[in-house]
A and B are shown apart, each in its own frame.
Chain A
Amino acid sequence: MDSWSALHSKAQGDLEGLFWDGLHMSARGNTLLFEALMGVIQSSLPGLAPDALPLDAPLWRDIDPKNYESSFRAARF
């Protein structure tokens, strides 16, 4: 999973632009690192990708306004 290499090619030689001080990530570097990490999760841990995970707690539209406690009892996390 050589995602840094994808980042490297995306940087297109502009290494300086990836950092704000030469070491720590600029907005550009941070965005590329984020995308690389999400790519690793998508490819290696697909069950933990954002789209694979449900939202926590019932959606508000699914809560019975007249009997809201039962809606929570029935819900999984």
Chain B
Amino acid sequence: MATKRRALGSTTDTGASEEETMALRRTKIVLFGDSITQQAFSTKHSGWAAAVNDAYQRKVDIVNRGYSGYNTRWASQLVHEVSSHFASGSPANGRDILTIFFGANDASLADGTAAAQHVPIAEYKANLGKLIDFVRSDHGSRAPQIVLITPPPVHERSWAKFCGEETSNRWEALFPFRRSAPLASRALASRALVSSDPNPSPLLFWQVS
């Protein structure tokens, strides 16, 4: 399929069918997540998305849809907009990529200082599944490849200091210092989600051991 590119000053109407003229565009990588995604273009901290952008110069458009403080429940209200980025045109090189990277806020204590952000583990897992299902059904065979990134651990002592607290009461016991951590549970839930998926997404997973 040849690209039909409209150049400046071009007045040619090819009369081609809609399928033939479906614009090929650059492949996209859309990054959907919380503050760890929102900050991912940081130059101050050599952000991971900035490095991805560098690796894909002139090949892929990187779109940041990171929302500080968001959990999977609130993310569900934005998935339409996120998914819309894959709608126009067809990726020139086959498929786009969507990374989904939530869980750090879902893991807030149900009765702690960040209780408003808490999402129970079962709902977290269900919410992730709904996000994935929405994007796949939205685009069918043109759906992006989805890479599910599970939440990393938190260094509790550093975070408590940053928050000006004696001890962090933001999260439940935090992995990997305490093994029963909710973040670890959420990582496991993400893995369970993928292993039960007939069309599993690649998964970036913080190992619990």
Chain B residues positioned under 8 Å from A36 (CB to CB): 204
Q: Is B162 a contact partner of A34 (Cβ separation < 8 A)?
A: no
Tell me if B46 counts as interface (CB < 8 A to partner A): yes
Tell me if B26 counts as interface (CB < 8 A to partner A): yes
Interface string of A31-55 (1 = CB under 8 A from B): 1011011101101110110101111
Given contacts A7-B206, A54-B59, A69-B7, are A21 and B158 in contact (CB under 8 A)? yes
For chain B residues 54-74, which have a beta carbon within 8 Å of chain A? 55-56, 58-60
Choose among B24, B46, B47, B145 the residue that contacts A45 (Cβ–Cβ < 8 A). Answer: B145
Chain A interface residue count, Cβ-Cβ cutoff 8 angstroms: 46
Q: How far apart are the CA atoms of A69 and B6 in the complex, in Å?
A: 11
- Chain A residue at minimal CB-CB distance from B43: A27
- Report which residue of B52, B155, B160 has the largest number of chain A beta carbons within 10 angstroms of its beta carbon: B155
Interface string of B166-205 (1 = CB under 8 A from A): 0010000000100000000001000000000000001111
For chain A residues 1-36, which have a beta carbon within 8 Å of chain B? 1-5, 7-8, 15-16, 18-27, 29-31, 33-34, 36
Q: Is B149 a contact partner of A48 (Cβ separation < 8 A)?
A: no
Chain A residues positioned under 8 Å from B209 (CB to CB): 5
Choose among B56, B94, B155, B205 the residue that contacts A1 (Cβ–Cβ < 8 A). Answer: B205
Q: Is A25 a contact partner of B207 (Cβ separation < 8 A)?
A: no
Minimal beta-carbon separation of B6 from chain A (angstroms): 11
Query: Given known contacts A50-B59, A77-B3, what 4 new A-B pairs fall within 8 Å (CB)?
Result: A19-B154, A22-B160, A55-B59, A69-B7
